[in-house]
Structure 1
């Protein structure tokens, strides 16, 4: 079995790699060539354990992500949300790899937004806004920078000090992109100028003023993943010209900022495409510079398993990781 840490993976696997693989994973999903059972959730005395398996038909790629949520873990010097991705050998059924699941989740979640932004944002997009500076924010920022030549990115969080510190750290981390990263002093102004908006929070209320969004903007809703959470304004869901989700099954069951507009009959489920549909048929992407496009993701084990196996194969080829 090959053990791959986050440091191992970062040595050779890029955001560009992850974006390409995420596109193919969702294409496979939308074509009906995968099995993704409902995740299993066990409530325990000190937390929860979630088991998320997936099977890619034909290639017989099989794996499972195991995520635990134990709020008291930091008192023990351990992460509150530990995760691992286990991959099985298609020929023998044996566990062939264990990957750092926290890192894989961050990577594939940033990459799926990057895939959507690549397919839907205007080619000449130059200004972006990132809302939220939590654990997923680094990969979300990297994905936007990877798929578009951005001149400016405004960074905002309700925790001002945290946002300013994050901004300074990202200036150093992503200096090679030569993009002006700055803390947003006036979110409304930055939203009104943005070509791309990415919100990645667990907010139960909308995170920006939808009336400030200009024609031609692409919006990513990444953080809200329960029926109680709402990041994207209802007016944006209603007036978006193209509405795309990672999986209809997941978003219509879990994403409050999409569920509520559907319940209010502002939009219907038939008004949404899956990202895999755009990979299959690119003519369904943006048609002109004035269209507002919207992407919503809640995640799917297909992404974890497909990218996990790709990382495993490349690591084995390069001799990276620890064999047990």
Structure 2
């Protein structure tokens, strides 16, 4: 059994084109029915904000794997100088159930989130080939930083401008040097929101605050799922989700739209519709609202990739 941690993942390297491609391949396998993904289970504690989420999944395709992600979210950790989330993944051989690897890697959670956003971003950019991109990121934590890295890698020269906002002060030196010259730090989220064509919300906001429509034709990467008040997005027709059953619960923005504005499963499109059936074609030039709850198949696919890389490079620790 192979053990990997964040240092091993970092040593293996991050190729955003490859990671987005892995996520896209997982979507195609899901569309073919080569997967199993029970609903996530939430383990709750007396402190309401604390929870551990179990996400089991099987993914077929060219590299079949099964496994489970076990991620703890304890918001109070930040005050103690600890990570808010602690992530672990176990991978099993789907032929015999043999445990193959244990990954104790917080980084993998962010890589998966940004890779899935990358699938949406590439489809959006491809549907608007002549449009320069002005990126706005709300929330400059680990997920926000990985989203900037991903966007810069996938968009290249089309990424003309970057604006960042966080409730806490952002150190300009924390911005990657390669994009620092085209990056501004906003003093208010509205300034960022009104001038950006792609907006990624990467926060742990306790309350929704975005109460106005985005600029027409924008892409809203709703990574944190609980930033938009319903009135700000109720008029958006192009709503994309990874899985309706997962995302229409747990007080997400999709669940609020469902209860308050009658949004139904038949009203949304899925990542499978996006990747396999060109779902954006029916929403030419319209604002796109992307809500990924985070499916286990993506965690398994990304973790499997890094296990194969680790074996090739001799990384990790073999456990008896």
Taking structure 1 as reference, are residues 235 and 27 closer, same or farther at Cα in structure 2, changes over 3 Å only?
Answer: farther
Q: C-alpha separation between the residues in 2 aligned to 1:72 and 1:203?
A: 13
* Pair 1:7-2:7 in alignment: yes
Match of 1:208 in 2: 210
Match of 1:158 in 2: 167
Match of 2:66 in 1: 62
Q: How many residues align?
A: 310
CA deviations 1:280-308 (Å, max 9, x no partner) are 122x2256763111101121111111111
Is contact 1:131–1:207 with CA below 8 Å preserved after alignment?
Answer: no
Q: C-alpha separation between the residues in 2 aligned to 1:254 and 1:303?
A: 20
Match of 1:245 in 2: 241
Is contact 1:151–1:179 with CA below 8 Å preserved after alignment?
Answer: no
Is contact 2:6–2:107 with CA below 8 Å preserved after alignment?
Answer: yes
Taking structure 1 as reference, are residues 315 and 256 closer, same or farther at Cα in structure 2, changes over 3 Å only?
Answer: same
Which residue, 120, 134, 146 being the options, matches 1:139?
Answer: 146
Q: What's the CA shift for 1:26?
A: 2.6
Which residue, 306, 309, 315 being the options, matches 1:314?
Answer: 309
Higher mean C-alpha displacement, 138-147 vs 298-307: 138-147
* Pair 1:199-2:201 in alignment: yes
Higher mean C-alpha displacement, 61-70 vs 285-294: 285-294
Is contact 1:245–1:296 with CA below 8 Å preserved after alignment?
Answer: yes
CA deviations 1:96-144 (Å, max 9, x no partner) are 1122331111110011112111112433232111011233211122222
Taking structure 1 as reference, are residues 125 and 100 closer, same or farther at Cα in structure 2, changes over 3 Å only?
Answer: farther
CA deviations 1:26-77 (Å, max 9, x no partner) are 3333443211123334446896543221112465411111223456768998
Is contact 1:4–1:98 with CA below 8 Å preserved after alignment?
Answer: yes
Structure 2 residue matching 1:232: 3-state secondary structure:
coil
Q: What's the CA shift for 1:268?
A: 2.8
* Aligned counterparts, 1:242-321, within 5 A: 242-265=238-261, 267-282=263-278, 284-286=279-281, 290-321=285-316
Match of 1:180 in 2: 182
| Structure 2 length-normalised TM | 0.85
Unmatched segments (≥5 aa) in structure 1 = 225-229
Taking structure 1 as reference, are residues 129 and 96 closer, same or farther at Cα in structure 2, changes over 3 Å only?
Answer: same
Is contact 2:238–2:268 with CA below 8 Å preserved after alignment?
Answer: yes
Q: What's the CA shift for 1:91?
A: 4.5
Q: What's the CA shift for 1:158?
A: 2.2
Match of 1:100 in 2: 104
CA RMSD, Structure 1 to Structure 2 (Å): 2.8
CA deviations 1:253-276 (Å, max 9, x no partner) are 235311122222353321111112
Structure 2 residue matching 1:253: 3-state secondary structure:
coil
* Aligned counterparts, 1:24-35, within 5 A: 24-35=25-36
Taking structure 1 as reference, are residues 259 and 68 closer, same or farther at Cα in structure 2, changes over 3 Å only?
Answer: closer
| Structure 1 length-normalised TM | 0.84
Q: C-alpha separation between the residues in 1 aligned to 2:34 and 2:184?
A: 43
Match of 1:109 in 2: 113
Taking structure 1 as reference, are residues 69 and 126 closer, same or farther at Cα in structure 2, changes over 3 Å only?
Answer: closer
Taking structure 1 as reference, are residues 311 and 125 closer, same or farther at Cα in structure 2, changes over 3 Å only?
Answer: same
